[in-house]
Amino acid sequence: MNAEDALGAIESSGIVAGMRGAFPPDVALHVSEVLLNEGIHVFEMMMNSEQPIAAMRAVKDEFGTSVVVGMGTVLDLDAAKTALDAGADFIVSPAFQPEIVRAVQERGILMGPGVATPSEAAAAWGMGVKLLKLFPIGALGIDYFSALFGPLKHMTFMCNGAMDDQNAREFIQAGAVACGMGGWLVGDGSWSKSRLRSRARILVNAVHSAKGQAERSLV
């Protein structure tokens, strides 16, 4: 999947479901199936989790073009190459490392580096980055995002870190195109189908409502 298509999928979804920890292939498939049935189709495996490459491949092979599956917590070039060679639809990181940005962009894949300051955001955007992962914005809060976004509205932000249904709604209303959701949405890999379904429905409703309000505010 090229960078433009991956970005479009993330923007239209508004939700990137991240699986960190005990999410080997069988668990990743279980979680992805439940979330997909509830309207969430963008998934992020994590390099510091259990069998992340195998999990990513399993989800892509099982659900095909109905899902977009990327790799997160990519912190060195070897990890980036491994994920890209395995077919990652996008790469994200908690940090801004220009060498990784360049390596991913050279392959025509969407790169979302982690930024936390206006200087980092401007530097990454200047490299041609089209999606900035604002991290850890959940801990910093909506006021920080609003202050940062004010002069940077020409940039595209995905908000990550300590996210839940309430602050996801706030960040999207304030201008974020998507939110990366981890533990609040998918738990630790042991959650039942009913619990996953419940969280997914709450989040989808919150995000869709926020997107609708954000669109109306622009009219």
Task: Give residue 101's pLDDT.
Answer: 98
Phi, psi of 150 (to 5 degrees): -45, -55
Task: Give residue 217's pLDDT.
Answer: 64
Is the separation of the CB atoms in 178 and 15 below 8 Å? yes
Query: Which regions of the chain are under pLDDT 70?
Result: 216-219
Rounded Cα–Cα distance for residues 63 and 29 (Å): 9
Task: Give residue 158's pLDDT.
Answer: 98
Residues 6+ apart with CB under 8 A from 91: 70, 71, 72, 74, 80, 83, 84, 100, 104, 109, 110, 111, 112
Residues 6+ apart with CB under 8 A from 216: none
Rounded Cα–Cα distance for residues 176 and 133 (Å): 10
From the list 12, 1, 212, 10, the residue with the least C-alpha distance to 130 is: 10
* Structure confidence by residue, pLDDT tens digits, 11-40: 999 999 999 999 999 999 999 999 999 999
Task: Give residue 218's pLDDT.
Answer: 55
In order of 35, 61, 143, 151, the CA distances from 43 in angstroms are 9, 13, 28, 30
Is the separation of the CB atoms in 22 and 188 below 8 Å? yes
The dihedral over CA atoms of 59, 63, 68, 73, expressed in degrees to the nearest 10, equals 0
Radius of gyration for the alpha carbons in the chain, expressed in angstroms and rounded: 16
* Structure confidence by residue, pLDDT tens digits, 106-115: 999 999 999 9
- Global pTM reads 0.96
